[in-house]
Amino acid sequence: MQIELLTTILLVCILVAFALGAQVGLALAGIAMGVGYLVWGDALFNVIPSTVEGTFFNFILLAIPLYIYMGQILTRSGIGDAMFNASQLVIGRVRGSLAISVVGVCSMIGAMVGIIGAGIMTSSSIALKPMLERGYDKRLALGVIMAGGSLGILIPPSIPMIMFAAATQNSVGRMFLAAMIPALITIVLIISYVVITCKLNPAKAPLDVENDIQVPKGYELFKTIRDGFSSFLLIVAVLGSIIMGIATPTESGAIGVVGAIILAILFKRFKPSIMMKAGLQTSILVSVAMWIILGASVFSNFHLLMGVQSMVAGFATGLDVPPIVVIIMFQVIMLLLGFIIDEFIIVLMCAPIFTPVAVALGYDPIWFGVLMILNIVIAVQTPPYGFALFYLKGIAPKGITMMDIYKSVTPFILVQFLVLIICMLFPDLVLWLPNKVMS
Amino acid sequence: MIEQLLKGYCRFVRYSVKLVGRAVPVLLPILAGLVAFEVFARYVLGTPTIWVYDTSLFLFGYISALGGAYAQQKKSHINVDIVYLMVPKYVRCIFNVLTIILAVGFLVLLAKMSFEKFSESLQFGYRTKSEWSPEVYHFWLMMTVSAVIFIAEYSAELIENIYYLFTRRALFSKEELAADAAKKPVLAILRSLHLTGLSVFLTDFFQKSQSRGEANDYLNFDEVLDKHHQEVELEDAEKLAKDEKEIESEDAEILTKDQEKKGSEYAN
């Protein structure tokens, strides 16, 4: 059978299965095996054991449970609140300071949790109430939570980046480093947007002084500073050990878990029940991620076996357009995919197909990976169907309509889109740091 | 009768999956500890271990594969629910049946291939391609088991959906689900086996075979089962009442003690 026809059939099947609300990982695998059996017969089923081996005997993917576990312990033992309070001490006098802390802290938390949905949920549980209590504009509050929570996958350690690295055989460390500068630019731009909009419209963000809220004193003050500082230190230690080459990304995840437990014990926040809940939640998230990876890998292995790569490559070179147009085309496809499916699947489905083409066109795979992640950040929160919007709707207070949410996220999406374009035009922004540190 | 059997089966599956899902997280701290120990061994002890690499990968496989069925029970797996949420419950059940068949199709293949791999690796003593190179047969056995319990979980969901399609009412009411969720899995598995009516069926059967000649009145069976259930519920209710009484009396004791204490403080 022609690969073009086969791909069309597969895509139609996927669309139907997804519309029916199928569990994505198993549906992908089921479709691949079903269609594959009709084309190739049962010899194809040998793809399954080799894919299982490739998925579960993978030291890079082993980082996923460790990072998620670390994030769960940290957020459940109240370290997120500590960071939030500490950052308020530093910038509490600036108008819109809460919103700024939310961007900073929530992107950190999002990074620790590693998954957009969980990032937004955790961020909102920490930050939404304080902002609304102090009379912040609801749209601004929701917008920064969305921006912070979804930025999480751009800031290392990030699960989708680990998946990208595993799917395309690139170094996780390089990937993490490459994302740093784009992440920094995004955060700076978002914070400046918050500052400017609050200056222009002071009613959006009342100052603490206007609300009679006191800065903590004495032991409380000491505790806030200590908690905030040590959690910051833990993140630096985890990232630092990767960058300095002391530990592999997987090992630094384990260091992070041990560090998080030690912090929780030191701050007298350690409870067996917290560990139980963190463990249970982690194991559920990990099995969700791994069954999707397994299913999507079965699908893409089958698809690659059928020769989809040469089809895409042939199509891309046959178009006879400048390489950058091909890259832009990929970006548009991923943006559209982001409307219906979540970040894991986009990475797992697109990375093995698109990356070799980008490399063949003379681009750096790491650069392409960072673009992909940036793109996903935007895609999942783009109205009308970006799936992160529905998480936000789920946590929003009563009386917030979908339209309010669309309006609240729009300025932040524009900022992130700007960053995507900047990174696309200036690849050096992405590649400079990893080349400098790990060359 | 059939309804009881179905309910019993669904409960049995649900609790077994829950038991496995609850047991798996115990491995997580061990996994993190092992990988962290490797770093410690390399820098502090100066001798990297050879066994941590394989062991941690095996643990990772166990955690992520075995937890799949429980994640399904918790409805944590990711799906695209744009259309799904817009259609009425009846149509949703049809959707569920179709998607379950698709997923189970793959899981059956996975179970079959994993089991073949298992017997192969047992026969030829396959090992991992690493320095320590432990045997891998247990991993494939575990994959088979995880695929099978995943299928079992889906089969229970399939039954619930098909039941709804035929009768237009849910197999389990909301109250039943809430009550079930509070139970401890180990005891509940045994009880659900009991409640499938198997035990009642057997005793009834033997009684019937003893008194042959009487009419084979299967309507009788439902009555027996109902009676049995009433007894069980009665027992539960009695237990609950007893527990509550105990708690109340304890509370009363504490209260009187407190008052006595206060009284003595005042006296002082």
Question: Which token pair is A326?
Answer: 């091909």
Residue A255 and residue A110 in contact, taking contact as beta carbons nearer than 8 Å: no
pLDDT tens digits along A20-43: 888 888 998 999 999 989 888 888
A 157-196: CB under 8 A from B: none
Cβ distance of B77 and A25 shorter than 8 Å: yes
pLDDT at B164: 92
**What amino acid is encoded at A311 in this protein?**
M
pLDDT tens digits along A300-327: 888 888 877 778 778 777 777 788 888 8
pLDDT in tens, chain A (439 residues): 578 888 888 889 988 988 888 888 899 899 999 998 988 888 888 889 989 988 888 888 888 888 888 888 887 877 777 777 777 777 766 777 778 887 877 777 777 766 777 777 777 777 777 777 777 888 888 888 888 888 888 887 788 888 898 888 888 888 888 988 898 899 899 888 888 888 888 777 776 555 555 566 677 778 778 877 887 788 788 878 877 778 888 888 898 889 888 888 887 778 888 888 889 988 988 888 889 889 888 988 888 888 777 787 787 777 777 888 888 888 888 888 877 677 777 888 888 888 888 888 888 999 999 999 998 888 888 876 676 777 777 767 777 777 888 888 888 889 999 999 999 888 888 888 888 887 6
Residue A320, phi then psi, degrees to nearest 5: 60, 50
Residues of A in contact with B60 (CB under 8 A): 56, 61-62, 65
Q: Is the pLDDT of residue B154 over 90?
A: yes
pLDDT tens digits along A118-143: 777 777 777 777 777 777 888 888 88
pLDDT at B244: 75
A337 interface with B at CB cutoff 8 Å: no
Q: CA-CA distance, B46 to A331, in Å (whole number)?
A: 47
Cβ distance of A287 and B113 shorter than 8 Å: no
Cβ distance of A298 and B33 shorter than 8 Å: no
| C-alpha count within 13 angstroms, C-beta hemisphere, residue A31 | 27
Least confident of A52-61, B68-77, B187-196: B187-196
Q: Which of B60, B67, B117 has the CB atom closest to A49's CB atom? A: B117
Residues of A in contact with B99 (CB under 8 A): 17, 20-23, 27
pLDDT at A92: 67
A280 interface with B at CB cutoff 8 Å: yes
Q: CA-CA distance, A153 to A342, in Å (whole number)?
A: 12
Mean pLDDT score across all residues of chain A: 82
* Share of residues in chain B with pLDDT > 70 (%): 81
| Interface test with chain B among A287, A301, A337, A340, by most B beta carbons within 10 Å | A287
Residues of A in contact with B106 (CB under 8 A): 26, 29-30, 33, 295, 298
| Interface test with chain A among B37, B62, B109, B143, by most A beta carbons within 10 Å | B109
Cβ distance of B35 and A46 shorter than 8 Å: no
pLDDT at A219: 77
Transcribe A376-408 into DSSP letters. HHHHTT-TTT-HHHHHHHHHSPTT--HHHHHHH
A273 interface with B at CB cutoff 8 Å: no
Q: Which residues contact B264 (CB under 8 A, 6 or more apart)?
A: none
Cβ distance of B98 and A20 shorter than 8 Å: yes
A402 interface with B at CB cutoff 8 Å: no
Residues of B in contact with A344 (CB under 8 A): 78
pLDDT at A33: 92
Tracing tokens 């500073």 back to the chain, one arrives at A225
Q: Which of A59, A247, A344 has the CB atom closest to B39's CB atom? A: A247
Q: Which of B35, B67, B107 has the CB atom closest to A283's CB atom? A: B67
Cβ distance of B102 and A61 shorter than 8 Å: no
Q: CA-CA distance, A139 to A434, in Å (whole number)?
A: 37
Residues of A in contact with B83 (CB under 8 A): 19-21
Question: Which token pair is A20?
Answer: 């029916």
pLDDT at B213: 45
C-alpha A193: how far from its chain's center? 22
Cis peptide bond prior to A182, omega within 30° of 0 = no
Cβ distance of A280 and B107 shorter than 8 Å: no
How big is the A-B interface in CB pairs under 8 Å? 186
Q: Is the pLDDT of residue B137 over 50?
A: yes
Q: How many residues does this entry show for chain A?
A: 439
* Share of residues in chain A with pLDDT > 70 (%): 93
Residues of A in contact with B64 (CB under 8 A): 56, 65, 286-287, 289-291
Residue A309 and residue A353 in contact, taking contact as beta carbons nearer than 8 Å: yes
**Predicted TM-score of the model (pTM):** 0.79
Mean pLDDT score across all residues of chain B: 81
**Shortest alpha-carbon distance between residue B69 and chain A (Å):** 9
With a cut of 0.95, is the ipTM above it? no
